[in-house]
Amino acid sequence: MARLALVTVAGLAATSFGQVDHVHLTVDTESGQQGDQILVETGWYQGEENISIGQDGYVYDGNEILVVEFGDTYSGGNAWDGRYFGAGPRLTSDFFFPTGRLDGGDFAFEMVDVSPVSGNGATAFGWAENHNGTLMNIADSEGASKDDRSFWVGTNRHMHHQILSSTHRGMWDVTMVAYDINGVYVDADPFTMRFSVVPAPAGLALLGAGGLVAARRRR
């Protein structure tokens, strides 16, 4: 399995995120006609040509399932405190916007399942934007509604500071579905990303106190 290390910078304030690498996933449609199915595309960003979604729905790096690693401990004075966290893949809606194939849409990615790669166990996964230590656009895999479980990407949007969280360590498969809030386009096929949550050594990369949780929506 290909491993993608996503790490934070030790000892910096809440605004600081360092990263070794990351991947981008974005939405497209076949033609932009009402009723077209949403397509989740990879490999379009420079340097990510080996990233793809296989016929089994997993995100791959070349011939191996991509494994995204994170595991710093979050401390921001909000509901994520004590969770493991790290910089996340980038869910976007900007790359194919100029084609017109996204016209009329308002897109989001819902976490529909979180499963252990082997054995039993459970975890709650979070996906959010970090704005100078304030969490916004928060999605929670255990949210009560579709909206609560969804990370919004809108249209023609590319937010860099996306972060993840997990309540438990381990290796997890997170399955997501891209959909159109406006209902112009049909839901995409599910895809699955694999995450390895490995606690960082003591003393590394806390988010820093003072982070806030902003009102989560937006629509």
**Is beta strand 24-29 parallel, antiparallel or unpaired with respect to 38-41?**
antiparallel
Residues 192, 160: Cα–Cα separation, whole Å: 21
- Taking the CB of residue 184, how many other CB atoms lie within 10 A of it? 18
Q: Which of 162, 194, 169 is nearest to 67 (CA)?
A: 194
List, in sequence order, the alpha helices (H) in the chain. Answer: none
- pLDDT, residue 33, reads 98
Question: What is d(CA 169, CA 71) in angstroms, rounded to the nearest whole number?
Answer: 8
- Render pLDDT for 86-119 as a digit per residue (tens, 0 to 9): 998 999 999 999 999 999 999 999 999 999 998 7
pLDDT at 210: 35
This prediction has a pTM of 0.84
Q: What is the pLDDT of residue 216?
A: 38
Confidence (pLDDT) at 21: 53
Residue 160 in tokens: 């860099």
Q: How many CB atoms lie within 10 A of CB 42?
A: 21
- Which pLDDT does position 201 carry in this prediction? 63
- If you search the block for the tokens 């497209």, which residue do you land on? 28
Residue boundaries of the structural domains of the chain:
2-213
User: Which residues of the chain are modeled with pLDDT < 70?
Assistant: 1-21, 200-219
Within 8 A by CB and 6+ apart from 197, the residues are 69, 70, 71, 84, 123, 166, 168, 169, 170, 171, 172
According to DSSP, the β-strands at 24-29 and 90-92 are: parallel
Q: What is the pLDDT of residue 160?
A: 87
Cα distance between residue 24 and residue 42, in whole Å: 6
